[in-house]
Chains A and B, each alone.
Chain A
Amino acid sequence: MKNKENVLSQHYEINGGDFSNAGNISTQIKETLKELGIRSSLIRRAAIAAYEAEMNVVMYAHQGQFQFSLTPSTIHFTVKDLGIGIEDIELAMQEGYSTATEELREMGFGAGMGLPNIKRNSDQFQISSTPGKGTFLDIFFYLNQREK
């Protein structure tokens, strides 16, 4: 007998340019994963990916939505934003490539590590974008997979 799947999900709104609240989503997700007894190495990876995804919305978009869901086998983030989008995704995935403004760099952001960091820390990662419209990220972590 199979139960209908047991899913915990949480929806967050992100406002572009809202640096003072940036990082809260990642912190809340981290707390939740701790309560569920997820192993700490995986929590660390998920928290870093969540933070980078959240920051990308704050830095480059007007508005975004962060959806977190968790089943006994998978952690899943989808991040959808309305923003400038990405012209060349391959280029954007290169470490050190950044389109951040001087101002953002002065604040210590925009080192060109965000997307590569998400990819490195997740178990599966997909990105699509329409320049001028927005970006969509699909990020997965598998709970039963061996540590990478």
Chain B
Amino acid sequence: MDQYYHSIYFDSEKCLGRRKCMRVCPTQAIRVRNNKAQMLEERCIDCGECIATCPNGAIIPLTDPFGELTKFRHTVAIPSPALYAQFGREILPSKIISGLKRLGFDDAVDLAYTCGKVSFAIQEYIRQYEGPKPLIINTCPTVVRLIQVKYPNLIDQVLPIDIPREIAGREIKKKKSKQYGLEEKEIGTFYITPCPVKMISIKQPAEKGRSHLDGAISISDMYGPLLSAMESVDKGDYRQSLESICILGIGWALTGGICRTLKLKNSLAVSGLSEILQVFNDIERGKLKDIDFIEAYSCPQGCVGGSLTVENLYISYNKILKLIETLEYEKIKACPDIREVRDLYRKNYFFIEGKLNPRPLNPLDKNLNQAIKKRKLKQKVYKALPQIDCGACGSPNCFTFAEDLVRGKAIPSDCIFDFASNDENLSQEISQLVDNPVPLNSNPLKKNKPNKD
């Protein structure tokens, strides 16, 4: 099987096997073996729900340290528009960009303007699109992975327009290498990220071989230094600063921002994984065919709710919203020229470079006949289990344990209720159908007993 890159790391030294992460994982991607949490790589979609629940800080988000900058001849910071929401209302994007330049980057480029271009490109694509609806935005890597893993049917509905940070990275490398006579690989492009998930789209893009970004630095890591760096930046003229903000672009920081600034009629904005699951289920049933476009973000309220942000997400959400309202009221757009965007659109400037493929989970068995037998056995096992989801076995709930068991990833005695010992038929059926099972072997109440075989 392919190796999957993940932006989450489990530190087994710190893990005490308390199973809190296992219970909150929305894709049942965590098992506890020998009292240590482990990730099932093919199931994890990097949503990061587990990070905050760990009482021991054993789950660590992976982003790049500042030191990475020294590996490049010329470095450029590309901040997520969510960074603009982290400071007081009087600190506008132009000041933040100036602050970034004083932090050790050779340059900092406003991403909102590229976001604005991509907004127009999305509008253009929706206008000409005739396939199954609704289209789903691809900017949140967790949502893209969720679709690859759990909703492979919807893969053709994922927008084939590349994400702004990738397009910006590509163009910056092109421009700077020419300007300074350097090779593209000598230009370091760093995304300033509100969440660890963006790392996976940099280290292992879902659809292409290589990202145009070289790393991601967390907003929380640079917040303090940036705040001091901005102290010496002149505030500048308020009106002038406002006039440099692309209204279409800053909307990308929050759920619904794109639909709102583009004034799309038949669109929907959804955030939070459980809400997304409901909406995607409805799409699969063919229920939302009248909707053209869906903005979906794994974090609550969109990127402003990312786990590596500093400001309270409702305050930062509100800051961006107020900024959009002010710009609307002042009739300031500062957006790219739409004719220019259409021209670029025709030249394939915006389209993703590869094809997004599904990544469905392995079936219970490659042979359908066997798979049906195992599915029936799973149902039987589940019925025999206590169904109290205690998690002592190391699987998040009884239903998942039943599945682990028929997949040969657990044995009946992993369950502290010893559910199969009185039912000879069931035990026999399990041993007949499941080859070479590996025990979860993490049962704390049994850990001193020797293994049976």
Q: Residues of A at under 8 Å CB distance from B?
A: 6-8, 23, 26-27, 30, 32, 34-37, 40-41, 43-44, 47-48, 51-52, 70-72, 117, 143
CB distance from B378 to the nearest CB of A (A): 8
Q: Quick check: is B34 within 8 A (CB to CB) of the other chain?
A: no
Contacts of B353 in A (CB 8 A): none
Residue in B281, B358, B375 whose beta carbon sits within 8 Å of that of A36 in the complex: B375
Q: Which of B4-12, B361-369, B389-397 contacts A (4 or more CB under 8 A)?
A: B361-369
Size category of the B interface is: 20 to 34
Q: Quick check: is B437 within 8 A (CB to CB) of the other chain?
A: no
Known: A27-B281, A48-B286. 9 other contacts (CB 8 A): A8-B375, A23-B281, A23-B282, A23-B285, A36-B372, A37-B362, A37-B365, A47-B284, A117-B286
- The SS class assigned to the B binding surface is helix
Q: Quick check: is B373 within 8 A (CB to CB) of the other chain?
A: yes
21 contacts between A and B (CB under 8 A): A6-B373, A7-B372, A8-B376, A23-B281, A34-B361, A35-B403, A36-B364, A37-B362, A37-B364, A40-B153, A40-B358, A40-B360, A44-B153, A47-B153, A48-B285, A48-B286, A70-B372, A71-B372, A72-B368, A72-B369, A143-B368
Residue in A32, A41, A51, A71 whose beta carbon sits within 8 Å of that of B375 in the complex: A32
The answer to whether residues A72 and B286 also contact, given A35-B363, A35-B364, A40-B360 and a CB cut-off of 8 A, is no
State the 8 A-B residue pairs at the shortest beta-carbon distance, nearest first: A37-B363, A51-B285, A44-B153, A48-B286, A36-B371, A40-B152, A40-B153, A72-B368
- The SS class assigned to the A binding surface is helix
The answer to whether residues A43 and B153 also contact, given A8-B372, A34-B361 and a CB cut-off of 8 A, is yes
Contacts of B287 in A (CB 8 A): 23, 51
B369 close to A6 (CB less than 8 A): yes
Determine the distance from Cα of A35 to Cα of B362 in the docked complex, in whole angstroms: 7
A36 close to B363 (CB less than 8 A): yes
Near A by CB (< 8 A), chain B positions 307-342 give none
Nearest residue (CB) in B for A43 is B153
